[in-house]
Amino acid sequence: MHIESEEIIKAKIRALRGRDAGNNKLVLETLALRGPLIKYDIFKALKSKGVKHYPTISRRVDALKDRGYLAVAGKRLIMVGKRSEESRTYALTWRGFIASLVIETVIKDIPSVLENDPLLEFPLPPEVPREMVISVLKQLFTPSEIRIIAHAILTGFLKALPEDIESISEEEYIMYMLPAFARTPEIKEKFEERDLTELLQIPGLLELALDLINTYEKQLSELLKGISAIKSELEQYVQS
């Protein structure tokens, strides 16, 4: 990340500035690369990186959850002495995922991060499985290319935000992400270099595409029928 990017990151991602930024980064990185974990497992993973006290990580997880970077992904049974009890697992939200992209180990392996995190659902029709989207991504681009594209989109997205990443809801992110996506020349360049017939190697993709086209064709047909009926009513009204 060059200096301009670092300034934008500090301005637009509050969790990555201030005295807690270092531990926040470590938590985001761990969950991005390993998927959902309970607090104690996050702490164990970070002991080798100099984190000495469990309460430090517990507080960071709670704070990141309260600020929308993490959410509860599920529960897991753990042993406490001789009894078992449920402990919550945590994973990145889209806000947390976007914040984690500033970390080199994360942006280098985005497909794995998307595969690991059950909370990162794509804004697509329910009949399109997330695994298919990830397969298309992996088929089209190398990890290095994904890193370059993701960095460009991230920078454009953060620049486009009116305030910071916590000031708007995740539902609004798409409004700022699409212009950043469209203005990323790296995407156009990489697509132009691709033989898209490679996508046919992905099992089920062609069938899924045909199903989606058939569904949209039916929806458009019904819409046109409705428009035609309204038109007929208006014509009769004008002629009377």
Is 215 found in the same domain as 194?
no
Residue span of the structural domain in which 229 resides: 207-239
Clarify whether residues 164 and 74 are in a common domain. yes
Q: What is the model's pLDDT at position 139? A: 76
Q: What's the rounded Cα separation, in Å, for the pair 206 and 186?
A: 26
Regarding whether 192 and 219 lie in a shared domain, the answer is no
Q: How far apart are CA 59 and CA 147, in angstroms?
A: 31
Cα 18 from Cα 15, distance rounded (Å): 8
Q: Are residues 192 and 232 in the same domain?
A: no
- 118 and 219 in a single domain? The answer is no
Residues 177 and 213 in one domain: no
Amino acid 85: pLDDT: 77
Is the sign of the CA dihedral 66, 9, 146, 144 positive or negative? negative
My answer on whether 76 and 164 are in the same domain is: yes
Check which CATH number belongs to the domain holding 102 and give it: 1.10.10.10
Task: Return the half-sphere exposure (C-beta side, CA atoms, 13 A cut-off) of residue 50.
Answer: 3
Do 21 and 118 fall within a single domain? yes
Residue 60 structure tokens: 């960071």
Three state DSSP letters for 168-187:
CCHHHHHHHHHHHHHCCHHH
Say whether both 126 and 29 belong to one domain.
yes
Interval 190-217: pLDDT, tens: 656 656 565 556 566 566 566 656 665 7
Gyration radius from the chain CA atoms: 23
Domain count, the chain: 2
Residues 59 and 168 in one domain: yes
The pLDDT profile of the chain, 240 residues, written as one tens digit per residue, is: 444 577 888 889 999 989 999 999 999 999 999 999 999 999 999 999 999 999 999 999 999 999 999 999 998 877 666 677 788 999 999 999 999 999 999 999 999 999 999 999 876 666 667 787 788 778 778 888 889 888 888 988 898 888 899 999 988 888 888 777 777 776 666 656 656 565 556 566 566 566 656 665 777 788 788 888 888 888 887 776
The CA-atom distances, in angstroms, between 118 and each of 113, 163, 171, 194, 228 are: 10, 28, 17, 29, 44
Q: Clarify whether residues 193 and 235 are in a common domain.
A: no
**So what's the pLDDT on residue 181?**
73
Q: What pLDDT is recorded for position 64?
A: 98
pTM for the whole structure = 0.76
Which DSSP letter does residue 104 get? H
Inter-CA distances, 137 with 16, 25, 110, Å: 28, 25, 10
* Main-chain phi, psi angles of 71, to 5 degrees: -150, 165
The answer to whether residues 221 and 190 belong to one domain is: no
pLDDT in tens, 112-129: 999 999 999 876 666 667
